[in-house]
């Protein structure tokens, strides 16, 4: 048996992202995860059910890509195809490394069959074969997206994990940067029912260990993990593949509907929380590349207005059809288990899941700001900390950064605003773990410059509204903030009760308690801005329309009730900016993704102007004539000014996280976006069309 390498413990502070013995790290000096002790024989199981490590069929050293790379951490095979695509396919086609990690086997009831009428015979249950069939379906779908050939070959190998067991590592032949990792823990087999032997049961302490459910063709041997070992396993995979961007489903989905229940699969939620904890552990290690995180809406997206036009929806569903193995007579994968998930074959669109993609965070477009001295400041979240980029005044000045400020546990997505004295204030939310993983909560935080252009002070907690951030209702939007003409700073967010809430900074530097502003069944992130008179305008979407609150006068309270704008449903994301004496709002049209622009002078919108960008998605950054967003290809693009019909110029190569932001810079406009490689990219108009996008700092 090989000796273990020296270990060091990473004990994280309570106010940081993770704390205490719950996440004692298994790290070696220098930041790499410990190589596991390995036996000379495969398949041995140690006492207590924990698998002995087995020889690796591939190198267990870290993968260090020269460019940005992506890791996706999901509960089940197909979570990526339904909820993360087309982002997954875009990453595969970009030629940059991507690793998809499936935490459970997805074995369900073990019946690989379409839905049958009541009383009709069903095939026998075989969880191992059904898990293998789902793996085959994912391999086919990924091969199709990457190469156009669903039958492309994969190399399957055993990978020791930092949790003490093994996982299966699949690599697409001829594409060494495309990996699938099958952890193969048992799934809950129920969407919301109380199943102690599940990720949720393990997280909450209902069981001490969670056992494996191995696919029939896997080279892995049985194992069982404690909650700490699950965290260590995921953190070890992150350390090995060293992604610059990580995708998970939403760890804090909204409670909705008549019974105020979470409309998502419990495995989605808890795989994302285990990933959160693993990322917090990994962020404490040394010498890793900066990483960003993107969370995706799961089941809930099917009950919201559709994101895509029909051609994009059909293209997404076509990949699901490969996974679903629509023709069971075509055993192209040569597997006795089958080549896909026949349960999905009766409805490859899911519950309207193929029609949309939604980010549950990072929708803010106010994270780029101009300083009092005309310098530029950009803010994002890297390594679960606030990242700051700065460009001094002047066209020839260069960018510096990113500088990562103290304070762990930051959730993706921040907003910013400028105070009357020229200082900048940044707002976000953070997730806090206590001594145990179950000590889990979220809160709103703010950081303010100590002087105009100066350093930022420490994060200050603003808490959270009632029934939000604690006690199982963890859903909070990204905050949005505005300073009215009287100099009053207010911050707004959607709470777990799906209403809008506000807090205001008093003259003595104290924040008021959160006050409800109403609204019902709000979704997405609200947006606030001011008009030329200094009045605050606040906007938030529902599944049916757009609501607004308009301040009567600077210094006056906002209305206690929202006004219905009468606008049609949108894809539940918004951008807003001052425009003359009014406020211009941008949103994407449901069922097409086309960007719509409307002007508000009060609570009544103008007729909408269609700016095109069919099947693009996510919010747009807008300042002056510059409008920028994400096209259907996923790449950065800018609206061509002066064209007779809406025309978008795509960069074609820069995939990015969240939404771009834009600000007015004298007579010009500047826009920025954070790439999946962790770099800031920017463009400016410079008296004409926007210049090509370029990295802001090296």
Rounded Cα–Cα distance for residues 520 and 539 (Å): 13
User: Tens digits of per-residue pLDDT, 522-551?
Assistant: 999 999 999 999 999 999 999 999 999 999
Does residue 264 lie in a domain region?
A: yes
- Statement to judge: residues 230 and 156 lie in one domain: yes
The pLDDT value given to residue 437 = 78
Cα gap 648→594, rounded to integer Å: 11
**Residues 328 and 369 grouped into a single domain:** no
Task: Assign 323 a pLDDT band (cuts: 50, 70, 90).
Answer: very high
The pLDDT score that the predictor gives to residue 49 is 32
Q: Are residues 377 and 336 in the same domain?
A: no
Cα distance from N-terminal residue to C-terminal residue, the chain:
44
Instruction: Tell whether the model's pLDDT for residue 48 goes beyond 50.
Output: no
Distance CA 537, CA 518 (A): 15
110: tokens are 């073990």
The verdict on residue 319 lying in a domain is yes
191-207 pLDDT, tens digit each? 999 999 999 999 999 99
608 occurs within a structural domain? no
Segment 551-561, tens digit of pLDDT: 999 999 999 99
Q: CA 381, CA 291: separation in Å to the nearest integer? A: 8
Q: 416 and 316 in one domain?
A: no
Confidence (pLDDT) at 259: 58
Examine residue 698 and state whether it is found in any structural domain, yes or no: no
Residues 156 and 277 in one domain: yes
- Of 313, 345, 377, the position where a domain reaches its end is 345
pLDDT digits (tens, 9 = 90+) for 222-245: 999 999 999 999 999 999 999 999
CA 301 to CA 663: how far, in whole Å?
31
* Domain match, 305 and 369 both: no
Total domain count, the chain: 2
Q: What percent of the chain has pLDDT over 70?
A: 89
**Structural domain ending residue among the three candidates 445, 463, 481:** 463
- DSSP label at 84? I
**Tokens for 352?**
């309207």
Helix (H, G, I), strand (E, B) or coil at 483: strand
**Same-domain pairing of 402 and 322:** no
Say which residue, 226 or 5, is predicted with more confidence.
226
Residues 6+ apart with CB under 8 A from 353: 82, 83, 299, 301, 302
Asked if residue 667 is part of any domain, the answer here is no
Identify the pLDDT of residue 273.
96
C-alpha–C-alpha distance, residues 607 and 613, integer Å: 19
pLDDT at 8: 30
For range 627-631, the mean pLDDT? 95
Check residue 262 and give its pLDDT: 79
Residue 189: inside a domain, yes or no? yes
**274 and 211 fall within a common domain:** yes
Range 376-399 average pLDDT? 95
Report the distance separating Cα 154 and Cα 685, nearest Å. Answer: 46
Q: DSSP code of 543? A: S
* Contact yes or no for 427/444 (Cβ under 8 A): yes
- At 312, list the tokens: 């994009």
Q: Which residues contact 696 (CB under 8 A, 6 or more apart)?
A: 378, 389, 391, 399, 401, 672, 679, 680, 681, 682
Strands 98-104 and 70-74, how do they pair?
parallel
Note whether 106 and 224 are same-domain residues.
Answer: yes
pLDDT band at 667 (very low <50, low <70, confident <90, very high): confident
Give the per-residue pLDDT at 23: 44
Q: How confident is the model at residue 2 (pLDDT cuts 50, 70, 90)?
A: very low
Lowest mean per-residue pLDDT among 48-57, 58-67, 285-294, 585-594: 48-57
Instruction: State how far the alpha carbon of 386 is from the alpha carbons of 378, 415, 428, in Å.
Output: 10, 11, 9
DSSP string covering 388-448, please? EEEE-SSTT--EEEEEEPS---BPS--EEEE-TTS-EEEEEEEEEE-SSTT-EEEEEEEEE
Between CA 305 and CA 537 the distance in angstroms is 24
**Which pLDDT tens digit goes with each residue over 455-489?**
999 999 999 998 776 666 789 999 999 999 999 99
- pLDDT greater at residue 40 or residue 415: 415
Mean per-residue pLDDT of the chain? 89
Residue 651 pLDDT: 83
From residue 315, alpha-carbon distances to 248, 319, 320, 357, 500 in Å are 22, 7, 9, 13, 36
Taking the CA of residue 433 as centre, how many other CA atoms within 13 Å lie in the half-sphere pointing to its CB?
28
Partners of 598 in the beta sheet?
Answer: 585
pLDDT digits (tens, 9 = 90+) for 486-515: 999 999 999 988 999 999 999 889 999 999
* 532 located within any domain: no
Rounded average pLDDT over 112-138: 91
Q: 178 and 260 share a domain?
A: yes
CATH number of the domain at 105, please.
3.40.50
Q: What's residue 561's pLDDT?
A: 93
> 153 and 104 share a domain?
yes
User: Which position has the higher pLDDT, 26 or 168?
Assistant: 168
3-state secondary structure of 91: helix
Residues 334 and 383 in one domain: no
Please give the pLDDT value at position 174: 97
Within-domain flag for 562: no
Q: In the prediction, which pLDDT does 401 show?
A: 94
| Structural domain for 93, as ranges | 21-60+68-114+125-345
Q: What is the pLDDT of residue 470?
A: 67
With cut-offs at 50, 70 and 90, classify the pLDDT of residue 44.
Answer: very low
13 pLDDT higher than 90: no
- Domain boundary among the residues 345, 373, 407 is at 345
Q: Which of 22-36, 89-103, 122-136, 395-409 has the lowest mean pLDDT?
A: 22-36
* pLDDT attached to residue 258: 62
What residues does 403 pair with on adjacent strands? 388
The lowest-confidence range among 117-121, 268-272, 565-569 is: 117-121
Average the pLDDT over 72-87 and give the result: 98
């Amino acid at each position: 048996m090989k000796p273990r390498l020296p270990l060091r413990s990473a004990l994280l502070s309570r106010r940081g992202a993770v704390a205490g013995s719950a996440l004692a790290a298994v790290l070696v000096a220098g930041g790499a995860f410990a190589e596991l002790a390995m036996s000379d024989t495969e398949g041995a199981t140690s006492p207590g059910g924990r698998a002995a490590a087995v020889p690796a069929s591939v190198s267990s050293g870290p993968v260090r890509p020269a460019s940005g790379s992506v890791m996706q951490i999901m509960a089940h095979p197909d979570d990526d195809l339904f909820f993360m695509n087309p982002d997954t396919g875009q990453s595969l086609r970009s030629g940059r490394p991507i690793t998809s990690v499936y935490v459970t086997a997805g074995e369900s009831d073990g019946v690989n069959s379409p839905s049958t009428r009541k009383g009709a015979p069903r095939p026998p249950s075989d969880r191992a074969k059904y898990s293998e069939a789902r793996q085959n379906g994912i391999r086919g779908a990924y091969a199709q997206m990457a190469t156009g050939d669903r039958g492309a070959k994969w190399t399957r190998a055993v990978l020791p994990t930092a949790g003490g067991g093994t996982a299966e590592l699949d690599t697409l032949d001829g594409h060494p940067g495309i990996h699938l990792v099958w952890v193969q823990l048992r799934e809950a087999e129920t969407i919301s029912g109380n199943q102690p032997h599940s990720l949720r049961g393990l997280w909450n302490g209902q069981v001490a260990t969670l056992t494996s459910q191995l696919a029939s063709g896997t080279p892995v041997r049985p194992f069982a993990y404690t909650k700490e070992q699950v965290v260590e396993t995921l953190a070890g995979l992150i350390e090995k593949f060293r992604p610059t961007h990580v995708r998970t489903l939403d760890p804090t989905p909204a409670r909705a509907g008549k019974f105020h229940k979470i409309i998502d699969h419990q495995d989605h939620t808890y795989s994302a929380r285990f990933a959160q904890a693993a990322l917090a552990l990994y962020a404490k290690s040394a010498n890793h590349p900066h990483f960003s995180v993107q969370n995706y809406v799961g089941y809930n997206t099917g009950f919201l207005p559709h994101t895509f036009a029909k051609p994009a929806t059909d293209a997404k569903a076509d990949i699901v059809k490969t996974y679903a193995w629509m023709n069971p007579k075509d055993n192209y994968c040569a597997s006795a288990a089958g080549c896909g998930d026949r349960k999905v074959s009766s409805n490859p669109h899911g519950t309207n899941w193929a029609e949309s993609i939604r980010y549950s965070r990072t929708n803010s477009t106010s994270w780029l700001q101009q300083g009092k001295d005309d310098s530029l400041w950009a803010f994002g979240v890297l390594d679960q900390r606030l990242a700051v980029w700065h460009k001094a005044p002047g066209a020839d000045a260069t960018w510096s950064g990113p500088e990562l400020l103290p304070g762990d546990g930051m959730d993706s997505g921040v907003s910013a605003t400028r105070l009357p004295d020229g200082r900048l204030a940044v707002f976000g939310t953070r997730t806090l773990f206590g001594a145990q993983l179950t000590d889990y909560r979220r809160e709103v935080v703010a950081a303010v410059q100590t002087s105009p252009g100066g350093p930022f002070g420490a994060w200050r907690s603003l808490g959270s509204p009632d029934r939000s951030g604690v006690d199982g209702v963890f859903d909070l939007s990204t905050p949005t903030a505005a300073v009215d003409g009287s100099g009053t700073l207010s911050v707004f967010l959607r709470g777990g009760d799906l209403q809008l809430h506000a807090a205001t900074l008093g003259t003595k530097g104290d924040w008021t308690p959160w006050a409800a502003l109403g609204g019902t069944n709000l979704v997405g992130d609200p947006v606030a801005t001011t008009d030329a008179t200094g009045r605050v305008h606040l906007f938030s979407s529902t599944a049916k329309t757009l609501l607004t609150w308009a301040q009567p006068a600077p210094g006056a309270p906002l209305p206690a009730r929202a006004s219905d704008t009468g606008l049609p449903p949108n894809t539940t994301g918004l951008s807003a900016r001052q425009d003359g004496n009014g406020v211009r709002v941008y949103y994407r049209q449901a069922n097409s993704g086309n960007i719509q622009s409307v002007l508000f002078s009060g609570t009544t919108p103008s007729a909408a102007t269609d700016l095109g960008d069919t099947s693009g998605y996510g919010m747009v950054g807008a300042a002056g004539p510059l409008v920028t967003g994400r096209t259907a290809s996923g790449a950065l693009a800018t609206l061509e000014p002066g064209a007779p019909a809406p025309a978008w110029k795509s960069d074609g190569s820069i995939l990015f996280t969240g939404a771009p932001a834009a600000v007015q810079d004298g007579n010009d406009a500047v826009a920025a976006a954070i790439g999946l490689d962790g770099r800031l990219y920017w463009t400016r108009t410079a008296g004409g069309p926007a210049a090509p996008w370029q990295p802001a700092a090296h």
